[in-house]
Amino acid sequence: MKSGKLSWLATTMLACSSLAFAAEPFNIDVVLPLTGPAAFLGKAEQVALQRAEASLAKTDGIGGRPIKFVLHDDQSSPQVAVQLASQIVASKAPVVLGSAVVAMCNAMAPLMRKGPVLYCFSPGFYPAEGAFAFSSSVATRDLISAQLRYFQMKGWKKVAVITSTDASGQDAAKNIKEVLANPEYKDIELVSNVTFNPTDVSASSQIQRIKGAKPQALIAWSTGSAVGTVFKAIAEAGLAIPVATTDGNMTYAQMTQYGDFLPKELYIPSPEWLPNAPKDAPQAQIEAKNAFYAAFAGSAEKPDAASSFAWDPAMLVVSALRKLGPNATAQQIRDYLANLQGFGGINGVYDFKKTPQRGVNDSSVYVTRWDASQKTWVVVSQSRGVPLQ
């Protein structure tokens, strides 16, 4: 009899163990441009989420359920992004990650004024304080401010600007104008300010106009193949001056693709995900960065800025769901994030009370320079773009 009871108990325990092992995944919807012009970002962020998923699989998940990031391809189209967002809202999901580009996030956000929580991967997305929407990484304005500070302190005060006419370029143009209005930058002279269409096959005429203005440095703000067009025109014009661009281009794939005509001095303002920025990071941030790089260890992919845009939002949302439980509402997740302080991420220590809807600001920005010999980015500034001594 005792043997029979033990056999029954063992069978029951095995059954329970099997049920736990086969627990239904906790799905988190993600909208990304996996095809189309912005796919270079979307695919890199897809890889980051896959590495995050594998890393999180070693933990208890959410309520004992493994975490699964369910990807939806917006095809680099705001219209498709809206269709996908509508379906996700209808499904009563409490949170959605993505998209990768500001135009898609701007299109999706109005559908989510009352939830679900939208965590956009584009730094150029600016949700209102208290909204259900959040934005990844450091704001474009803070990136530009740090880069201009670096230029000014290096003595490169005659600056030219070329921006694309899409949403990302317009965001940059607006922020450059606002930053230059700050008295701190009164010594910087904007000697040329031109635009180009991201579908243009050449930017030669714009670069020739810039060259004629004799700038000491250039800001070329666009992403993907469009910035490649600008880099090619710069090389063809023989314009040998320092060039800065957005960290949306901070990918190994682009550096390799444009290697033959990259500017000799290419600067990119970046948040803190690079291993050596900053050197005196708090322990919580060090642990987050160690986990980030460990997730990519042994894989064919090298983490870059596109990886960082997805990583911290994913970890922040997972932390909310672990704290609140798998039945958390959009309101609870929003309130958790809005009041979160001291969260160690790869891009800094997050304080959403100090920097609403984003958590990090210009204190997390470091200017980097692409080093072709090392095939990576080297940090050349202190926090906020102050040049290294």
The Cα–Cα gap between 271 and 253 comes to 19
Closest by CA position to 288, among listed 342, 366, 339, 347: 347
Intra-chain end-to-end CA distance of the chain, in Å: 81
* 348, 381: one domain: no
> Do residues 75 and 36 lie in contact, with contact meaning Cβ atoms separated by under 8 Å?
yes
Parallel/antiparallel/unpaired status of strands 189-196 and 158-164: parallel
Q: Is the residue at 277 inside a domain? A: no
Closest by CA position to 359, among listed 267, 279, 272: 272
The Cα–Cα gap between 98 and 355 comes to 20
Paired residues of 302 in beta bridges: none
**Phi, psi dihedral angles at 67 (to 5 degrees):** -90, 135
Number of domains the chain contains: 2
> Do residues 219 and 144 lie in contact, with contact meaning Cβ atoms separated by under 8 Å?
yes
Cis peptide before 387 (omega within 30 of 0): no
Residue 216: CB atoms within 10 Å: 17
> Do residues 385 and 179 lie in contact, with contact meaning Cβ atoms separated by under 8 Å?
no
Closest by CA position to 360, among listed 282, 301, 293, 291: 282
Local confidence pLDDT in tens for the 389 residues of the chain: 444 544 544 444 444 444 444 589 999 999 999 999 889 899 999 999 999 999 999 988 999 999 999 999 999 999 999 999 999 999 999 999 999 999 999 999 999 999 999 999 999 899 999 999 999 999 999 999 999 999 999 999 999 999 999 988 999 999 999 999 999 999 999 999 999 999 999 999 999 999 999 999 999 999 888 999 999 999 999 999 999 999 999 999 899 999 999 999 999 999 999 988 887 889 999 999 999 999 999 888 899 999 999 999 999 999 999 999 999 999 999 999 999 999 999 999 999 999 999 999 999 999 999 999 999 999 999 999 999 97
Parallel/antiparallel/unpaired status of strands 366-371 and 341-345: unpaired
Range of the domain at 173: 140-270+365-385
* 256, 151: one domain: yes
Q: Is the residue at 14 inside a domain? A: no
One-letter amino acid for residue 69 of the chain: F
The Cα–Cα gap between 124 and 387 comes to 25
User: Which residues have CB under 8 Å from 372's CB, separation 6+?
Assistant: 259, 262
* 179, 255: one domain: yes
Q: What is the CATH number of the domain that holds 79?
A: 3.40.50.2300
One-letter amino acid for residue 272 of the chain: E
Place of tokens 């998209």: 99
Q: Is the residue at 345 inside a domain? A: yes
Q: Is the residue at 239 inside a domain? A: yes
Q: Is the residue at 190 inside a domain? A: yes
* 236, 378: one domain: yes
* 163, 104: one domain: no
